[in-house]
Chain A
Amino acid sequence: MKSRVVVVGAGGAGLVAALNAHQNGAEVVLVTKEYPTRSQTCMAQGGINAVLNETDGDSVELHIQNTLKSANALADESAVSYMCQEAPKAVAWLDSIGVPFSRTPNSKIAQRKLGGAYGARACYAQDYTGLKILHTLYDRCLAEGIEILNERYLLELLTEPEQSGKKYIRGVSLLNKRSGEVEILEASSVILATGGYSRVYNTYSTNSLSSTGDGIAAALRAGARVSDMEFVQFHPTALKGSSILISESARGAGGHLLNSKGERFVDELLPRDEVSKAIHDEIAKGENIYLDIRHLGVEFIEKELPQEAKLAKLYENVDPADDLIPIKPAAHYTMGGIEVDSNSSTSIEGLFAAGECANHRVHGANRLGGNSLLEIVVFGKEAGINAAKYAKNATKDEAILEAKELSENEIAEIKRYANEISFYEKQAILGEIFYKNVGIKRDKGALQEALKEVQEMKSSLPKMGVSDKTKEYNTNLIEFLEFKNMLTVAETILLSAISRQESRGAHFRVDFPATDKKFRAHTIVDAEGVVSYEN
């Protein structure tokens, strides 16, 4: 399969990667476990950062500085510089393919200020930025005739050892959700763009149900390294019952945070980690926390925050024009991921990664708002170009024979599991433990307790399994495979969090509250669970 690039995951990063690999001469196959437009990118509405002109005091240099500051000295300066310098080009490209960015009266792309930014540099498309970028990218892929395989669940990355001991990629094994058949796709190079892992926090996450870290877990099994997994960003204002996100724009517009006594207790416009910490402390004291936007007025709410008002009514049964909105912080974005170099290449030859599943070392310990959509466009492109180049020069072309049988046997094995314990219940427990012990504030004891629990769950997987043994469209089986992957990911988060004996950005250790220069390095975890640090 010379020159074939398989892209796994069809959110923003995957679609950009596919387009660029295609334009660079590769035969591209894009696979997704759902459909492209259903991916997490559709939920990223705030904006995409780019300094489009330097007239109002903002500059690319300031974008770089703001990003580095937010990252708490844990980002790679050259990667951040590259991303910020490419930002205006990335936005111009999106504009050129038809993304309907909001405009100013002077026909410029409209920009707004997000937390931690010097100026208004987040380009937006009304309150649907991610949705509109995603759909336009999807349309572009259709225009280019890129082959898309929907409803394929990634099972394994197929690799071969080289004489040097290093592994190189041969393809992927997939479960066709519809037929229940295992499919093998041979490839010269593979790009993982499978998204983040916030669903480890189960119902305490703002994310789509599918952000289960499948690509990260598969990469680990194949021998790739992951890094900075302990850094999980919590969003301060998720609805209390459902963890559904209430956008930062509510606070940006002047919304207050109140405790049960009706008191304000924090400057609502501090960075996300600090606001989340303040809310966490209030909740620990037994307070209920509310977002108050009543004073903004019915008219403003209807015009500027209609989605938020709708969701508050639906999920909390409150009308934000008259009532307080019950909220809590929830896991929102995962900074860690598959370790990649400046070419988006992983430690496995021919395997590339981009988007939230990858760690390009641009977010460090805390991501700046508006940089996630930017990252997927800038590094999705890099991954696509480099994977196409690699594929063109790939010489290995022998068939993969035994992979199909291996995967089939594994699925048959899972169907024979005893199913004495409900994995759905364990998944709920995992979420509770992670929220409580691996949340905004952590300490050694709590982390070790969580690790013990995760390892127990891992070893009792054969007692869980699935009760639905059907072949076709078995979502019970898919959810079990996702749960397995989440346990793999959970273990790396815990190993990294236990090892990092300091507080930095989104990782706050009660027992080590200060930032420690010694830990100004990236946490690396390998397939054997060995933790090391690198710069």
Chain B
Amino acid sequence: MKINIQRESVVTYEVNMEGATLLEVLNEIKRAQDPSLAYSSGCRSGVCGSCAVRVNGREVLACSHNAKDGDLVEPLRNTPILRDLVVDMEKAYSFNAKAKAWQSSLADNIELSEENQQINELQSDCILCASCYSACPVYAVNEEFLGPFSLTRVWRYVSDKRESDPKEKIDVAQTNGVWDCTLCNECTLVCPQGISSKADIEKLRSKSSMFGYMDPSFSNFGGGFNDGSPVF
């Protein structure tokens, strides 16, 4: 089986493995053929989010992808490449802090029902693998977009009954946030956890409306005003 890996240029490795995961193939290449190959991995079972890469143009977890002859493996997009398949996640993760993706204050003695809890059950399955971040086309035009996983995380906390100040987060999500998404759904298609950031962003938009915000692209019509955010 031939596996093509995007390093400084595309390098083809030949491995004699059938039915193996891509991570097992990478491990074998590193062990027996080329110890200089750099990639990230951890749990091998799809929960640590370390080994997200692109295979044939689509984001996958290397530990959850059956390697096939001819696969082209590339690093995630929208992030600086550190080496080979390893990307620098600092900026991507920094959007969690920019978006205030946390619970504002400690919540004591708030009773949560089963329904309350199930509202954000799926969103809190996020493993921060950044597949969605890599697949998101908005970064091509706006590098400061808060992005799919951060906004999903905001929805997780905003929708939680324990959050005392949801408005603060909605306020923050107005700039480079919910209105900058094109609703193209690429994030949803690649999420290994079945989360739809697109749907979460739509929920945040409707929440924004409840707090009196409007889609800025409507207010732009005819005004010639351009605040730098893309209009689609």
Contact = CB atoms under 8 A, between A and B. Distances in A.
Given A143-B102, A245-B45, A98 B128 contact: no
Contacts of A103: 112-114, 116-117
B101 A132 contact: no
Interface residues of A, number: 58
Interface in A473-532: 473-476
A209 B42 contact: yes
Interface in B139-188: 153, 156-157, 160, 162-163
Interface string B102-141: 1110111001111011001100111110000000000000
Contact of B102 (A98, A102, A104): A98
Contacts of A101: 117
B101 A142 contact: yes
Interface string B85-103: 0101110010011001111
Interface in A75-131: 92, 95-98, 100-105, 107, 125-126, 128, 131
A208 B48 contact: yes
A135 B126 CA distance: 9
Contacts of B114: 102-105, 107
A100 B120 contact: yes
Given A34-B42, A140-B102, A131 B47 contact: yes
Given A34-B50, A42-B48, A315-B21, A139 B101 contact: yes
Nearest to A128: B125
A311 interface: yes
Among the interface residues B43, B116, B153, B163, which one has the most CB atoms of the partner chain A within 10 A?
A: B43
Contacts of B43: 38, 40, 42-43, 208
Contacts of A42: 43, 47-48, 127
Contacts of A472: 82-83
Interface stretch (B32-40, B210-218, B224-232): B32-40
Among the interface residues B39, B47, B89, B100, which one has the most CB atoms of the partner chain A within 10 A?
A: B47
A103 B117 CA distance: 7
Given A107-B114, A245-B45, A135 B64 contact: no
A103 B121 CA distance: 11
Given A35-B93, A132-B124, A244-B44, A467 B36 contact: yes
Given A43-B48, A101-B117, A315-B21, A142 B96 contact: yes
Interface in A301-350: 307, 310-311, 314-315, 317
Interface size class of B (residues with CB under 8 A): 35 or more
B83 to A, nearest CB: 4
B38 A475 contact: yes
A134 to B, nearest CB: 10
B215 to A, nearest CB: 28
A14 B57 CA distance: 36
Contacts of B31: 422, 424-425, 428
A474 B96 CA distance: 28
Contacts, number: 150
A242 interface: yes
Contact of A314 (B49, B66, B83, B120): B66
Among the interface residues A35, A104, A472, which one has the most CB atoms of the partner chain B within 10 A?
A: A35
Nearest to B88: A178
B19 interface: yes
Interface string A27-47: 000000011011110110000
B8 to A, nearest CB: 12
B106 A97 contact: yes
Given A98-B102, A98-B162, A244 B45 contact: yes
Among the interface residues B42, B100, B124, which one has the most CB atoms of the partner chain A within 10 A?
A: B42
B41 interface: yes
A38 B42 contact: yes
A142 B89 contact: no
Contacts of A38: 40, 42-43, 48-50
Among the interface residues B45, B49, B96, which one has the most CB atoms of the partner chain A within 10 A?
A: B45
Contacts of A422: 31
A246 to B, nearest CB: 10
Contacts of A139: 96, 101-103, 153, 157
A107 B50 CA distance: 35
Given A34-B42, A42-B47, A476-B30, 10 more contacts: A34-B50, A92-B108, A96-B108, A98-B102, A107-B114, A131-B125, A142-B101, A142-B102, A178-B88, A468-B35
Interface of A: 34-35, 37-40, 42-43, 92, 95-98, 100-105, 107, 125-126, 128, 131-132, 135-136, 139-140, 142-143, 150, 178, 208-210, 242, 244-245, 307, 310-311, 314-315, 317, 422, 424-425, 428, 466-468, 470, 472-476
12 contacts: A34-B40, A37-B48, A37-B128, A42-B127, A97-B103, A98-B107, A107-B116, A139-B153, A209-B44, A473-B82, A475-B38, A476-B36
